[in-house]
Amino acid sequence: MQHLNIKVYGLVQGIFFRASAKEQADKLRLTGFAQNMSDGSVYIEAEGEKKNLDKFVKWCNLGPTMAQVEKVETSESSLKNFNGFEIS
């Protein structure tokens, strides 16, 4: 199990990025959360198997159809043992 902090920059708010991220996370059996940030980015914390997190980060670089992702930053941190994937 691994924990990633992910920050997605670009046109990523108001286009269902968080809802689409939850859908992807659920498919990949990841837990965590996604939230809009005041700077226009989306911040995500996700936990799960490394191979599934890698797939999720690849998806974050594309996002849903209307997204225009400019940059994705990731960093590892300690597990928080989330119960599911939430949108906040």
Q: What is the DSSP string of 34-64?
A: EEE-TTS-EEEEEEE-HHHHHHHHHHHTT-S
Cβ neighbors of 77 (< 8 A, separation 6 or more) are: 3, 4, 5
Catalytic residue of the set 29, 36, 52, 83:
36
Residue 75 DSSP label: E
36 is catalytic: yes
18 is catalytic: yes
| pLDDT for residue 44 | 98
Can you give the residue ranges of every domain in the chain?
2-87
Q: What is the pLDDT of residues 15-74, one digit of tens each?
A: 999 999 999 999 999 999 999 999 999 999 999 999 999 999 999 999 999 999 999 999
Instruction: Give, rounded to a whole angstrom, the gap between the first and last alpha carbons of the chain.
Output: 23
Topology given in CATH for the domain delimited by 2-87: Alpha-Beta Plaits (3.30.70)
